[in-house]
Structure 1
Amino acid sequence: MSWELVYGLQAGMVGVGLLALYFALSVPTLLCLVTLDTLYYVYLRKRREAAGTLPLDDKTVLITGCDTGFGHALAKDLHQRGCNVIATVFRPDGEGAKSLRDVSSERMTVLPLDVSSDESVAQCLSHVKELSKNSGLWGVVNNAGHNFVGDVELTTMRQYLMVANINIYGMVRTTRAFLPLLRQTKGRLVNVTSIKGLVSTPLNAAYNITKYAGETFSEITRMEMRQFGVKVSIIEPGNFGGATGCINKEGVARISREFDEMWDEASDEVKEVFSKQYLDNILHSLEPVAMTTYPTLTPVLEAITDALTSGDPEYRYIVAGSNTLMDKYCVLVRLKPYLPDRIFEPLLLYFFPYKVEK
């Protein structure tokens, strides 16, 4: 079969599809669709208004990953709202932990927590039980995570496992540990994944697979916790890398060290395809990306707060994070369900091109 015939069939399918759409969208059909959409929007608004908002001033919330980024900002924001905050940090002696301790408030407690360690999670749980024995634990925000960049072939198995142990099994460890406390209060579990848990892009294999896993884990946990009154929400931030510090000076330095590890362990066959300059070019490309991210973390903080306080929280919160006309990730996520893979993937690669040049 010639390619001319294949392309002709492809054009024919598109043409028939457009004709079908043209004849289906009569004036009565359009009116019904617009009315249905409007009624659904009003229904959602009125449902959330009827559910109301719960106060935070008598609630205790635990947040993981408060050294920097979303977790650090959220801990301070919830504290200002009157919440009793248990902020956990990976580096108890780091600047982030010190900044939180400087709040000097009985409502701000800073605890060490390594989500990749069963022992650390168990120790944290013991402290939290004591701290929340009077008020109970209302919410857990699984925010701790490790951002990672790397080609499928270059990323080492140690790196794949390291990212998974933090991003997937860290969430699993803390969720399993604290769910009994959340059941007692019929509280909230809020899992921070990423827009990259909904759309796949080159150079993100190790990271994306953990975020896809976080989506699935959260959905199953929500269904299982429904009968106990525990509500589970997913936060899916878009392009906030520059604001969180993932790709600032320190973040790029960390990625550079991870690239060095990749290159040191790469086989001769892989090095014939890639080059050290190729990795350097990726590093240099991160700075322009940082410049396009949303300048503050406020939209994500507001989404998490809504998930903790709304009487009828959303199942998932897609939060666009670009300071340009659009967040490319979020736009692609919304288009994906409606486009065939053979059309969607070239569109994605237009926005996120991938080419190995030595």
Structure 2
Amino acid sequence: MSVVPFRAPLSPRGRSVLVTGASSGLGRACALGLAEAGFRVFAGVRKEADGPESTGSAEAFGAITPVRVDVTDEASVAEAAERISGLVGEDGLWGLVNNAGICVSAPLECVSPQRLREQLDTNVVGQLAVTQAFLPMLRRTRGRVVNVTSGLGSVAIPFLGAYASAQFAKEALTDVLRRELRPLGVDVALVQPGAIMTPIWGKVSVAARSAMDGVPEHIAELYRIPFNRFLHHNEQQARASETRPEDFAETVRQALTAARPRSRYRVGSDARKVSVLARVLPDAALDRYLRPITE
């Protein structure tokens, strides 16, 4: 049996990384964690005042540069790429962490076409637009793309159909990018975090309840009780989770520095459990397992 020789992780020193969606939650934790590890971090935010440079250890302050980028706005993406290209110069960009995203939560019968477009435009179309804009810099360094999805990239659960559709699509994009870019020297990895308590859960609940406001009452009434129960359970599950934003940041660091990056990294026991269930259970059994959500 041949033994693969151990190769030490790469040093973050002298390497630049862009993290999108870095104004709060997992993106903010990721930007801070990567800066503290030694990366030069460009924190992609919709408003530069929302950059994460105001928190974290003192060592990270000088290593984070907020950059305004709206992933749904092609002009904004192009401007960000031009600015970062000018800042990194011939050194290029080592890593792109596609973390920006939104979560539309509602029964699919209650998701308007506009809301579905917003979900897909932010989590799928916008991610590809950002990747395309920064690939010339990544090819120069033979760098890395890290796409962030979730456990819902493996299993689509009731009341998160729009979000799961985006995550499934991003998983497919990641697989294809990995296969297309590897011959060009760019590695692509996927990070799937499970439930982690961040401010997004409160925002999801508020937005989800408002999503029902424009639905005809006779339809909304069909879903209201199980949907509200689902939202409460989701938030409680996140609060009870032992997985921390710092665990996510550390996993992204591993994907960016591993000598041989894995194709997938799962963060948290729930993300690993969902992945196993998706692989081993037939559809009928998985449907039965998820049925209590809708009852």
TM-score above 0.5, yes or no: yes
Point out where structure 2 has 5 or more consecutive residues left out of the alignment: none
Q: Percent identity?
A: 29
Other-structure match for 2:247: 299
**2:233 & 2:212 partners in 1: Cα distance?**
18
Structure 1 residue 150 corresponds to structure 2 residue 128: no
The CA distance in 2 between the partners of 1:204 and 1:279, in whole Å, is 10
Map of 1:316 onto structure 2: 264
After superposition, the Cα gap between the structure-2 partners of 1:86 and 1:201, relative to the gap in structure 1 and judged at 3 Å, is same
Aligned counterparts of 1:134 and 1:182: Cα–Cα separation in 2: 11
Instruction: Give the alignment partner of residue 259 of structure 1, picking from 209, 213, 217.
Output: 209
Give the Å deviation of 1:109. 0.8
Does 183-192 or 50-59 show the bigger shift? 50-59
Q: CA deviation at 1:222?
A: 0.6
Determine if contact 2:97/2:145 at 8 Å carries over to the other structure.
yes
* Corresponding residue for residue 284 of structure 2: 342
- The TM-score normalised by the length of structure 1 is 0.75
| Distance apart, 1:106 and its partner CA | 3.9
Residues 56 and 91 (structure 1), Cα distance of their counterparts in 2 relative to 1, 3 Å cut: same
RMSD (Å), alpha carbons: 2.4
Superposed, 1:138-217 pairs within 5 Å as 138-217=94-173
Shift, 1:114, TM fit: 0.7
Task: Give, as a single letter, the amino acid of the residue that structure 2 aligns with 1:353.
Answer: I
Q: Quick one: distance in 2 between partners of 1:278 and 1:149?
A: 13
Deviation at 1:278, TM superposition (A): 5.8
Please state how far the C-alpha of 1:268 moved relative to its aligned partner: 5.0
Show the counterpart of 2:294: 354
Letter in 1 for 2:264: R
Partner AA of 2:205 in structure 1: I
Higher RCO (Cα < 8 Å, 6 or more apart): 2
Matched, 1:94 2:54: no
Could you say what secondary structure the match of 1:222 adopts? helix
1:242-253 equivalent positions in 2, closer than 5 A: 242=197, 244-247=198-201, 251-252=202-203
Q: What is the 5 A alignment of 1:219-298? A: 219-240=175-196, 242=197, 244-247=198-201, 251-252=202-203, 255-260=205-210, 262-267=211-216, 269-271=218-220, 273-275=222-224, 280-298=228-246
Cα 1:81–1:209 change in 2 (3 A) is same
Aligned to 2:91, the other structure's residue is in SS state coil
CA deviation after TM superposition for structure 1 residue 69, in Å? 1.5
CA distance in 2, matches of 1:87, 1:99: 13
1:9 matched residue in structure 2? none
Larger Rg: 1
* 5+ long unaligned stretches in structure 1: 1-38, 322-326
